[in-house]
Amino acid sequence: MSNSVNRSEFIPMPSLSLTHLHGDIESGPLPAPASRAARVAGEAAHLLSQLPSGLRTTASMTMKGMAQAGNATLSGAKTAGNSLGKFVGAPLQNRAWGAIAGHALQQMITCGGPTLLREEAFIEAYNLMLPHLTQKSPAAAVTLQMCISAASIAAHYAVREPRIERDPQGNQVAVRGHFGLSPEHADVLRRDKPQEWDANVETQRTNSQRVTGQQITAELINTGLSLAGAISGNHGLTTRILSSQIRNTLYAASRESLQASLSLTGSSQGKATFGVNDAHMSINAAWYTAMTLTMGLMQDALIHSALPKGYSVSGPELRDADGQLLKGKELHQLGLVVSGVRLTCNTMIETVDAFLGKHYDTKQSGDTQKFSASLPLKDYGRLLDHSVARLSWNNFANGTTLAAQQIASRITDGHVPSALQSLLGNAGSAAAFGLTYKMVNQTYQSHAKVRAAVEQDAKQQSFIDMESRA
């Protein structure tokens, strides 16, 4: 019996019936329940009767699912293919393949050449100083190393930091360069967001000081390892620190000299650029970290394949199958092979980094990059600031990585598998370079913009002087 009322002004209610233990009023008493065996038999018969249709339904659903999965996979493959095509085709559409070629060729010269020089110097200096200096007079080797460390630190306080303070606009140019800001954007920040501008000023100054602090940290690590090697009789460690300092100094000086002399890329429309901004600099840092790790592992694998069976290399040390240091002609020949592999991998890292940096620099100004060969033969002032900052970067990464390797070797008593040693060493190097990439490269940009502003200011002053004398 239903008690529901089907009128629009009332809310519908569910049907109700009065029941008692034996059934409802309308139907009368419930029938006697079936036995358990009968219920089981009935359920089994019902299940068996539905089995063929169930199998058909399951098969149909499976086929539909496979078809949907196949369509989704095909669609995903098409999307990935289109994306890859756009990625590969974009440089061609934007005439960037010429820029890529320009960067590759330029880095082969300005990075590959200095890398070959530094690696050859690294290997040869190590194998020359180990028997003739460190083993004969460890104290003299440590003293020489400490003098190089002191000079490296002094270069920041006496040369690099004063150069960035030459900003003719009272550090505004340095801050703009640091964050890749146009003069108009900087004016808006100073006017409308003074607190943000003040924070940028402080960040620029702090990062410049941190580059100096990075050098101090690196030299403290170098001195500590050098002393530890001399005290423990591990002359190879002391020699490695000293030869590494020579290596990095040669690289910084030669690379910046060539960068000032040669340029093989430029902007397509000639629009003014202001540097890579903060967000894009973070992207570059991530790419640089990934490339450093990848190329480091590839480098170790290629060197292992290139050397005779059983031979090994660790930094500047090349050993034969018996674990003895190589000497004479064999050292020079295989040292050149090792240096060649290292220059190839380092050139690939720097080519990608240079392309991305130029890409974002021009993109932010609404421009693109292209192949453009020229011999500027100027801006050699970068040797007094870029080179010093680069030395800080390389010494810090090399020092921290070597220290970590020494600690790991001490903990494991030297029983570290070569594959694990390669992974840990390259991961440590990638982390050290990657974590400090943004700070160092933004400081590079500050120095570059200040140098340009000082040069422009000098030209204007010279013109004014000429006008006044006329």
Interval 121-172: pLDDT, tens: 999 999 999 999 999 999 999 999 999 999 999 999 999 999 999 999 999 9
User: What percentage of the chain exceeds 90 in pLDDT?
Assistant: 73
CA distances from 109 to 117, 249, 338, 343 (A): 12, 18, 18, 10
Query: Is residue 46, in this structure, part of any structural domain at all?
Result: no
pLDDT (tens digit per residue) in 337-371: 999 999 999 999 999 999 999 999 999 999 999 99
Q: Average of pLDDT values for 372-382?
A: 96
DSSP structure string for 154-181 = HHIIIIIHHHHTT-TTTTHHHHHHHHT-
In the predicted model, what is the mean pLDDT of the chain?
A: 87
Residue 67: the pLDDT is 58
Q: Tell me the two tokens of residue 61.
A: 């659903």
- Tell me the CA end-to-end span of the chain in Å, nearest whole number: 118
Domain for residue 250, yes or no?
Answer: yes
pLDDT beyond 80 at 64: no
- At 237-294, the pLDDT tens digits run 999 999 999 999 999 999 999 999 999 999 999 999 999 999 999 999 999 999 999 9
pLDDT of 187 higher than 60: yes
Q: What is the pLDDT of residue 419?
A: 87
pLDDT band at 212 (very low <50, low <70, confident <90, very high): very high
pLDDT at 15 over 50: no
- Per-residue pLDDT, 464: 85
Whether the predicted pLDDT of 109 surpasses 50: yes
Determine the pLDDT at residue 78. Answer: 61
Q: Work out how many domains the chain is built from and give that number.
A: 1
The yes-or-no verdict on residue 99 having pLDDT over 50 is: yes
What integer is the mean pLDDT of 301-312?
Answer: 96
In a domain, 232, yes or no: yes
The burial class, CB within 10 Å (0-12 / 13-18 / 19+), for 174 is buried
Q: Report the pLDDT value the prediction gives residue 166, as an integer from 0 to 100.
A: 96
- Asked whether residue 397 is assigned to any structural domain, the reply reads yes
Q: Which range has the worst mean pLDDT, 7-11, 217-221, 396-400?
A: 7-11
> Structural domain of residue 353, as residue ranges?
91-457
CA distance 348 to 326: 29
* Pair of tokens at residue 296: 């480091």
Q: Is the pLDDT of residue 56 over 80?
A: no
Is 36 part of a structural domain of the chain?
Answer: no
Residue 222 pLDDT: 98
* 62 falls within a domain: no
Whether residue 96 is contained in a domain is answered as: yes
Residue 31 forms part of a structural domain? no
